[in-house]
Chain A
Amino acid sequence: MARRAPIVAVLILASALAAVVFQAGCSDPAERTSPGRPTVVLYSVTDRETSQELIDKFEEETGIHVDAKFDTEAAKAVGLVQAIRQEKTNPRCDVLWGGGAFFHAMLADDGCLAPAPEDLIQAHGAAPRDAQGRWLGFAAAYRVLIVNTDVFGSEERPRSYRDLVDPRYKGKVGIANPLFGGMAAHVAALFQVLGPDEARRWLADLKANDCALCGGMADVTKRVASGELWFGITSSIDAHVALDDGKPVAIIVPDQGPGQIGCMEGFSSVAMIAGAPHPREAERLQRFLMSSKTEEILAAGPAQTVGLLPESVARDVRPPWIPRGIRAMDVDWEKAARGYAEATKAIKEILLER
C-alpha cells in the first residue's frame, strides 16, 4: 500500500494538472473579468509586430476588445484565407486585414466577404478597391528588386524584372516560390498585364536562367543579403528590414523607364466577413483601419507603407526612403484573380517542368 501511494498521488496530480491546464487554455482572463465587453474578431495576415500597435490603439479609443489571430509568413494564403473559406457556413472572423487584393478578390468571388458601408466606399477616393466595396485597399508596399551591394556597384545594378532572365546572372537570381502567397499574385498580375504569351516566355527564361525559388519574399531578402544570390524580387517591407539591419543591400524600384510596365504595387486590404458574428464592431474596426491616421502609423512603423487614402495622398504620407512618383503596374485584380488558374498551370508546366 505504501509503495502504491506515490504512484496514485502522481496520477491524481497529472489529472489535476491536465484539468487546470485545460481550464486555463479555454478561457481568456480578459474575457473572464469583463464578460459584457464588446469584442471583434480580427484575422490579420499583416505581421503582428505591425498590427499590434494599431490593435492596442483601437482598443484604447473604442473600448472594444480585439481577439486577433495572426498568420505566419510561410503559411500566407494557406493559413487565414483558407480558414475563412472553411468557416464560411459559420464564420468566426469579423474582419480580415492584409493578404492583398488578390486573395481578397478570391474570397469575394467565393461569397465570403460583405460590402463595406456606402459612405466608407465613397470616402475611399481613388484608392484601390473592389467594385462592390467588398474589400478596400490602403497602405501601399512595392515589389522591388533587392540587390547585394558587395556584388554590384551603383552603376551596374539591375533595373527591371527582365534582368532576372539576363544570362550574365544565371543561377544568381531568386524569387519567392510563385505557387504561394504574394509571388503567386505577382505572376497572376504579370499574366494580366503582359498577356499570357509574354508571361509564359518570361517564365521559360527564368527557368533557363536557373532562378532560385525561395521559401518566401523574406527568404529572398535573406539570401541576397548573405551574398548567396545577387538580386531578386521582394517586397519593400522585407527589403527595408534588411536595409535597416545594416545588410549590404540596396533597393531598386524597377521598370520606371519609358515603355516599361511599372513597379507592382501591392497594398494592404481590409474586408468584413459575410455573416460576421459582430457586425457593428467589425464596421468600427474597418473605419478605424481605413483612416489616414492608421496609414501614418504604418508608414512610420516596420511596414513602411505609403498612404493611398485621399487625405494621406494630400499629406504625402510615406517613409522618407521611398521616392515620390513611383509608376505602378496597371493591374485589374479581379481579372488577375480569375486568371490565377492559368498562371498556376503555366508555372507548373514551365518553371517546375510538370
Chain B
Amino acid sequence: MRTPPKPLVAAAVLLAFAVVFSPLLAALFGTGLHARGAESLASVVGPLGVTIGSALAAALVALLIGVPFALLVERSQVGPRRASWALGLLALMMPPYIVSEAAVVLLGPAGKISKPVAAFLGFGAGSTEPVATARYTVPGFVYSWPAVGVVMGGYLFPVVALAVAGAYRRTDHRVFEAARLARGMRGVLMIGARVLVPPALGAALLVFALTLTEFAVPQLLRVRTVGEEIYERIQEGDLATAAALSLPLMPIVVGAGALGAFILMRSRSASLAGLEGEVPRFKGRRLGRAGHVAAALTTLIAITPALILPCMSLGWLAVSAKTSQSPMVGRHKLIRTSGVASSFREVWSLAHGDAVRTVLLAAAAATLATICATALARLASRVGWGPILGVLGAGVALPAPVVGLGLITLWNRGAGAAVYHSSAIVLLAWFTRFFPVAVFLAQGALARVPRELEEAAALAGRGPAGRFLAAVLPNAAPGLATAWLAVYVLSATEIGATVLISPPGKPLLAPAVMNFMRRGQDQEVAACQILLLGVIALPLVLVALGMVLSPRLRRFAKGSS
C-alpha cells in the first residue's frame, strides 16, 4: 500500500490546528495582550490545584463504576446486556449541569433524600418542633471538590466502560483458561490486568481531561476552579488575560490526553490476539444467576448518579409542582401555572424552532467533525504522525467563552462577516470545540481495524477509497458512530460559546432551556428538562428504532423480491 504524500498530510494537520487554535490566538493577540500575564498566572495556582483534584476524583469514580459495569454487563445475556448499555449511554447523554442540580436537590444540605435519611439515622434536628426541623440541614458534601468528581465521574463512566468492554470483547478467552490452569486465580488476575488495565487507564485519563475544563458543574457546586477565574477576566473585559489563563491547562490536558491515547492504542495488542483476517468475537464464561443479579445491581449503582438521581429530581418537580392562582397575565402564565403537561406544550410552542434548529445544527456539526476526524486520523496514521494529533487535545482545554469571543474577533470583519451573521458560525464554534474529541475517538476506532484486512483488500486490487469503504469503515463503524454521538451530545448541550455567537433571531435550545430552568418554577423546569433530554436522546432513539426495524425491513425486502 502506498502512503499518502507527506505535504498533503502536513497541510491537513496544519489546517486542523488552525481551526482549533485560531480562536485562542485571536483572543490572545487580536485584542492586545496585557502586561498582567505573570500576576494573573500566579492567581490561578490555587484554583488549578482544586481543578486537578476534582478531575482526579472524577477519573477515579469513572474507573470504580465503569470497570465492574463493563465486565459484568458484557458477560450477561443479550437482552439484559443491551438494556444495561442503553441505560449507560443515556447517563452519558444527561447534561452534567442537570446532574449537579439533581445532586443538590436530593443530596444537598436540605436534600429530599439526605434530610430524611439523616433523620432516620438519628442525626436529625432532635426535636419534632417544625422550626427546629426546618432549621436542621445535613452537612453539605455536595459543595466540595470531591462532589464535582463524583458528578463528573458518574456522568462520564460509560467512557471507561466502553473502552474496557471493547478490549474484553476482543480478548481470546482461551488465554484466561490457560492462565487459570497454570496459576489459578492469580494467573487470571494477572492476565486480566494486562488486557484490561491499559484501556481502563487510557479512558480514565480522557475523563480527567474532560473534567479539567468543565465550568458549569463547579460553579453550581460552589467550587472555585480555573474556569471561574477565566470568566472573571472576561467580565472585566480582559479577554487576552482570560485566554492566557487557559494556557496552564493545556499541557496538562495534552499530557493526560496523549497518555490516554497512547495507552488505548497499546491496548489493541490484546484485541489482535489470534487474529487471522477478521475481528475476533471470543466468548467468555457466561454469568450464573448470582452473576446476573450482580450485573443488574452494578448497572443500578452505575447509573444512579447521572440517570436515576436526575430522573428522581425531575419526577419530584413534576409531582410536587403546585398550580398557583397567579394574578399574572400573558403567555408566560400558561407556562408557569398550568401543570407540567400544559407547561410542556407551551414550552414546546415557544421553543420548538430552537429544538429543530439545535438538532439540525448539532447533527451537521457531528457529521462534519466525524468525517474530517476520520480523514485526518487515517492520513496521519498512514505516515506515522498519529501522536502529533494528540496535541490537538489541548483544544479541549479552551474555555468556551474564549472560543466564542475569539471567533467574533476572527470572523466579524470583511468577508468573514457573512459567516458570522449566519448559523454557520455556530457550526464552526461547535466544530472547533469538539473536533479534538472526534479525532481522539476516530483514532481509537481506526486503530482497532486490523491492518491485515486492508492489506488483503489491496492485494485484491482495491484502491485507497475502496479499501477504506470495504475494509476499514465497516470495522471502525461502531467507534465512528460513538464519535458522532459524542460530538452531537456535546454540541446540543453547549452553552458557553453558543450564547455569545449564535445569530440573532435563531436561538438554540440549550441556552433557552438553561434560562427557563434557572429562573423557572417547578413545572416549567420539569417541562424544559424533558424537552432538552428528548432532543439529546433523539439519535439514540433513532438508532435503536433502526436496529429493531432493520431485520424486519430486510425480511420484507427479501419477501417482496
**A positions within 8 Å CB-CB of B:** 3-4, 7-8, 11, 14, 17-18, 21-22, 24-28, 30, 41-43, 47-50, 52-53, 65-75, 77-80, 82-83, 85-87, 89-90, 92-93, 106, 110, 148, 150-151, 153, 172, 177, 179-180, 184, 212-216, 218-219, 223, 226-228, 230, 237-238, 241, 244-246, 297, 300-302, 304, 320, 341, 344, 352, 354
Pairwise interchain contact A69-B502, C-beta atoms closer than 8 A: yes
Q: Please tell me which one of the listed residues B134, B405, B521 contacts residue A82 in the complex, with CB atoms under 8 A apart.
A: B405
Closest to B521 in A: A245
Pairwise interchain contact A212-B222, C-beta atoms closer than 8 A: yes
Beyond known contacts A48-B512, A90-B413: 5 more, CB 8 A cutoff: A21-B361, A47-B519, A78-B234, A79-B500, A92-B504
* Given A69-B502, A352-B224: A8 in contact with B519 (beta carbons within 8 A): no
Q: What residues of chain B lie closer than 8 Å to A244, measured between beta carbons? A: 324, 326, 328, 336-337, 521
CA distance A354 to B530 in the complex (A): 41
Closest to B335 in A: A49
- B122 contacts chain A at the CB level, 8 A cutoff: no
CA distance A219 to B361 in the complex (A): 31
Q: Please tell me which one of the listed residues A151, A212, A245, A297 contacts residue B522 in the complex, with CB atoms under 8 A apart.
A: A245
What number of residue pairs across chains A and B have CB atoms under 8 A from each other?
A: 231
Q: What residues of chain B lie closer than 8 Å to A150, measured between beta carbons? A: 130-131, 134
Segment of B5-13, B235-243, B275-283 engaged in the interface with chain A: B235-243
Least Cβ distance of B536 to chain A in Å? 17
Q: What residues of chain B lie closer than 8 Å to A86, measured between beta carbons? A: 31, 239, 405, 408-409, 412, 500
- B108 contacts chain A at the CB level, 8 A cutoff: yes
Closest to B462 in A: A4
Pairwise interchain contact A226-B237, C-beta atoms closer than 8 A: no
Residues 309-329 of B at the A interface (beta carbon under 8 Å):
321-322, 324, 326-329
Q: What residues of chain A lie closer than 8 Å to B104, measured between beta carbons? A: 228
Pairwise interchain contact B505-A302, C-beta atoms closer than 8 A: no
Q: Please tell me which one of the listed residues A7, A18, A27, A30 contacts residue B473 in the complex, with CB atoms under 8 A apart.
A: A7
Q: What residues of chain B lie closer than 8 Å to A77, measured between beta carbons? A: 235
Least Cβ distance of A106 to chain B in Å? 8
Q: What residues of chain B lie closer than 8 Å to A24, measured between beta carbons? A: 357, 360
The interface on chain B, measured as residues whose beta carbon lies within 8 A of the other chain's beta carbons, has a size of 91
Pairwise interchain contact A49-B401, C-beta atoms closer than 8 A: no
Closest to B347 in A: A49
- Give chain A's interface secondary structure class: mixed
Pairwise interchain contact B134-A151, C-beta atoms closer than 8 A: yes
Least Cβ distance of A271 to chain B in Å? 16
Q: Please tell me which one of the listed residues B131, B140, B234, B427 contacts residue A25 in the complex, with CB atoms under 8 A apart.
A: B427
Pairwise interchain contact A21-B360, C-beta atoms closer than 8 A: yes
> Can you spell out 13 A-B residue pairs with CB atoms less than 8 angstroms apart?
A21-B360, A25-B422, A26-B422, A53-B330, A66-B505, A67-B503, A72-B514, A74-B216, A82-B405, A148-B134, A245-B522, A300-B330, A302-B328
- Most chain B beta-carbon neighbours within 10 Å: one of A50, A77, A78: A78
Closest to B356 in A: A24
Least Cβ distance of A137 to chain B in Å? 21
Least Cβ distance of A288 to chain B in Å? 17
* Given A53-B331, A352-B224: A71 in contact with B499 (beta carbons within 8 A): yes
Pairwise interchain contact A180-B505, C-beta atoms closer than 8 A: no
Q: What residues of chain A lie closer than 8 Å to B466, measured between beta carbons? A: 4
Least Cβ distance of A212 to chain B in Å? 7
Interface string of B405-429 (1 = CB under 8 A from A): 1001100110001001111101100
* Given A25-B427, A92-B412: A18 in contact with B368 (beta carbons within 8 A): yes
Residues 186-245 of B at the A interface (beta carbon under 8 Å):
216, 219-220, 222, 224, 228, 231-232, 234-237, 239
Pairwise interchain contact B134-A227, C-beta atoms closer than 8 A: yes
Pairwise interchain contact B134-A28, C-beta atoms closer than 8 A: no
CA distance A300 to B469 in the complex (A): 62
* Given A70-B515, A73-B518, A228-B108: A78 in contact with B231 (beta carbons within 8 A): yes
Pairwise interchain contact A238-B519, C-beta atoms closer than 8 A: yes
Pairwise interchain contact B324-A74, C-beta atoms closer than 8 A: no
CA distance A352 to B47 in the complex (A): 11
Pairwise interchain contact A230-B235, C-beta atoms closer than 8 A: no
CA distance A79 to B487 in the complex (A): 23
Pairwise interchain contact B521-A300, C-beta atoms closer than 8 A: no
Q: What residues of chain B lie closer than 8 Å to A79, measured between beta carbons? A: 499-500
- B284 contacts chain A at the CB level, 8 A cutoff: no
